[in-house]
Amino acid sequence: MRNISSDFLISQQPDQRFETSIHLSANIYISIGKNVPFRELRNINGERSILIGHAVVASDSGEPKRIGEIVKPDILAHSQNWAGRWLLISPKMIIPDGVASLSCFYPINKNGVIGASHPSLACPTSKLIDEAAVATGAVIPPGTGYEGVKKLLPTQIMLITDGRIKKRPVNFNTDCKLTYEQLLESLAAKYQSIIRGIAAEANELWLPLTAGLDSRLLLAIAASSNIEFQAFTFQKGYLNMPIADRVTPPKLSRIVKINHKKIYGKAANKDIVDEMTLHFGRLSEDPGTPLYFAKHGYYDSFNSRATLLSGLFGELGRAYFHRKISTNNISADDIATTAVRTVPNYQAAQELVDWWHTYPLSGVDPIERAHWEARLSGKTCNALNLSDYMFQNKISGIFPAFNCLDVFCDLFSFEREIRIGGQHMLDLVKMLCPEILTLPINSKGNVIERRFRALLRKFV
């Protein structure tokens, strides 16, 4: 039997297995596990909505701005500047966050369930049809790897009364008038307001540090925001961790005068692997995966009230697939090359491409949209969903600070030549905290070392 303490279910009847059941409207109930954060919102007309997860406002002022208990009636437009990991359920619709990172799965054939946190809850009789993709997490949305169950995309909303999927009205900059420097200033203000908003609500804030660019930008934002936080780095074996990721983080922490903690794994715990297999099926145990960190007890070092900042989704706005996809007329074959190539994944890729053709987005580079909805909303979000279960009693939560539609609007406004390689990110670091650029970011030596380690792994 599935442990539902980190799950939620939106259905036409209350589910007695859950800790909390909220009667939202005439025949809509939201059942919530005991470790799932949620809060109630109302608009000025008194209409109630439920916000699952954590969200803060990305403000142009740079100052923290909390989402109030009273929100504007047009909550769909109002939520475009919400950052974090959340799902909003109103009596009219279900709205995902910027990457749909707090995943909502729904059954194709309505069975009284409207949406759920896992495919097996959305449709208990559903069969696993793509074990290879599910094991690695590389499932292409709206596919899920389960028969008859789909995932809500970040460019979609669901009408709660009949389950119909509609296009989400997202306002991207189709004709941006801001200069490059003005776009950088806009991003910097939004990022700082997000970080300050998180810090205002967190009991204990930790930032993961590596020698990479996403991590460096996250550090620059936090260090320039005048907040209290600490840094950590998970230590892995030589074959799975570059030398730069070992030596650079403590040096960076000394530069910005914060505490840094090296966290070492323990001997593998087979019981954890067995438990995860029971609940989720076979999962990858490769270094860097949630199950790897869980079975080696990395998260045991944190206080259960700790909030972990995350640079996840930071690669959006860098034309990440520009080497794999060379055309703006993206096909299902192009998408399939970015994930595990299976029949269900290919079918999901075709459905995704059909959605893009039917509902194009002005102002969005097609390569960015492919990375956004095929990769980030798929594999990256699946890792977060696993982490919800695996670390629910270890930490308070993981907060992806870069996940916000208003932030994406600014990112997509840069020319592709600027986005490739992340020049705008480097310039943001230079603007916010230039002293941390005295240490190299993913140097060429690091690339050579990675190739050498990859070669060694073939013989170990």
Q: Which residue in 88, 97, 90, 74 sits closest to 38, CA to CA?
A: 88
Q: Which two tokens stand for residue 41?
A: 């919102």
CA end-to-end span of the chain = 38
> Would you say residue 286 has pLDDT above 60?
yes
Strands (E), 319-436: 397-400
pLDDT at 444 over 60: no
In the structure, what pLDDT confidence band is assigned to residue 172 with cuts at 50, 70 and 90? confident
- Coil, strand or helix at 176: coil
Predicted local confidence at residue 69, as pLDDT? 66
Which tokens go with 208? 């993961």
Mean pLDDT over 324-339 rounds to: 85
Are the beta carbons of 108 and 147 closer than 8 angstroms? no
Domain 8-167: CATH architecture, name and number where available: 4-Layer Sandwich (3.60)
Q: State whether the Cα torsion 236-238-239-244 is positive or negative.
A: positive
The pLDDT of residue 244 is above 60: yes
Question: What pLDDT, on the 0 to 100 scale, is given for residue 450?
Answer: 61
Is 445 a residue whose pLDDT tops 80?
no
pLDDT tens for each residue of 1-19: 567 889 999 999 999 999 8
Which residue from 154, 140, 137, 141 is spatially nearest to 336, judged by alpha carbons?
Answer: 140
Write down the pLDDT at residue 64. 85
pLDDT at 49 > cutoff 80: yes
Lowest mean pLDDT among 100-104, 195-199, 250-254, 442-446: 442-446
The ranges assigned to domains in the chain are 8-167, 180-317+374-457
* Lowest pLDDT segment from 39-48, 197-206, 240-249, 321-330: 321-330
Out of 70-74, 253-257, 269-273, 439-443, pick the least confident. 70-74
Domain 180-317+374-457: which CATH number of 3.60.15.10, 3.40.190.80, 3.90.1300.10, 3.40.50.620: 3.40.50.620
Q: Whole-model pTM?
A: 0.92
Instruction: List the structure tokens of 440.
Output: 């190299």
Q: What is the mean pLDDT of residues 311-336?
A: 86
Is 448 a residue whose pLDDT tops 90? Answer: no
Q: What is the 3-state secondary structure (H, E, C) of 145-172?
A: CECCEEECCCCEEEECCCCCEEECCCCC
Tell me the CA distances in angstroms from 186 to 122, 132, 142, 441, one per residue in order: 40, 42, 32, 24
Reported as a single tens digit per residue, the pLDDT across 187-240 is: 999 999 999 999 998 999 999 999 999 999 999 999 999 999 999 999 987 677
Lowest mean pLDDT among 273-287, 345-359, 434-448: 434-448
Distance CA 216, CA 6 (A): 31
User: What is the number of alpha carbons within 13 Å of residue 295 lying toward its C-beta?
Assistant: 21
Under a CB-based contact definition with an 8 Å cutoff, are residues 276 and 457 in contact? no
Q: What is the mean pLDDT of residues 166-190?
A: 88
